[in-house]
Amino acid sequence: EPEVTQTPSHQVTQMGQEVILRCVPISNHLYFYWYRQILGQKVEFLVSFYNNEISEKSEIFDDQFSVERPDGSNFTLKIRSTKLEDSAMYFCASGQDPATQYFGPGTRLTVT
């Protein structure tokens, strides 16, 4: 069964460094999302992407964040200058239509 994949599974970075989190959505899906979950807290929406542009973003998704679909298969989240509070599990999700969202296994980001 097709699934969303994410790499790396765990990323450790120093404060102020740039990180890129990678996702390969399910191949025929058109809607893409990033969410994050700080340890022990609820899952929070970051951004949605459709038709090669951001369709919606939350207040968390500030100028430090950007998303890209560079080659028609990958979907990336870049954090330009990481802060300690960016430490979280980052989930990519995709959907064939707006009604469903299938999540990837997540990337655990640790900022030291």
Partner 1 sequence: AQKITQTQPGMFVQEKEAVTLDCTYDTSDPSYGLFWYKQPSSGEMIFLIYQGSYDQQNATEGRYSLNFQKARKSANLVISASQLGDSAMYFCAMRPRTGRRALTFGSGTRLQVQP
Contacts to partner 1 by CB under 8 A: 31, 33, 35, 41-45, 48, 50, 55-56, 58, 89, 91, 93, 98-106, 108
Shortest Å, Cβ 96 to partner 1: 12
In the chain, % helix, strand, coil (3-state, to 5) comes to: 5, 50, 45
Residue nearer to partner 1 on the CB measure, 82 or 91: 91
CB of 38 to partner 1, least distance (A): 12
Alpha-carbon distance values, 22 to 25, 32, 40, 84, 94 (Å): 10, 12, 23, 20, 13
Query: Toward partner 1, which CB reaches closer, 53 or 71?
Result: 53
Residue 50 Cβ vs partner 1, minimum distance, rounded to whole Å: 8
d(CA 97, CA 90): 22
- Tell me whether residue 55 or residue 81 sits nearer to partner 1 (CB atom): 55
Q: How far is CA 68 from the centre of its chain?
A: 10
Using an 8 Å Cβ cutoff, are 41 and 57 in contact?
A: no
> Cβ closer to partner 1: 13 or 57?
57
**CA 63 and chain centroid, separation:** 15
Taking the complex as a whole, how short is the minimal distance between the CB of residue 93 and partner 1, in angstroms? 8
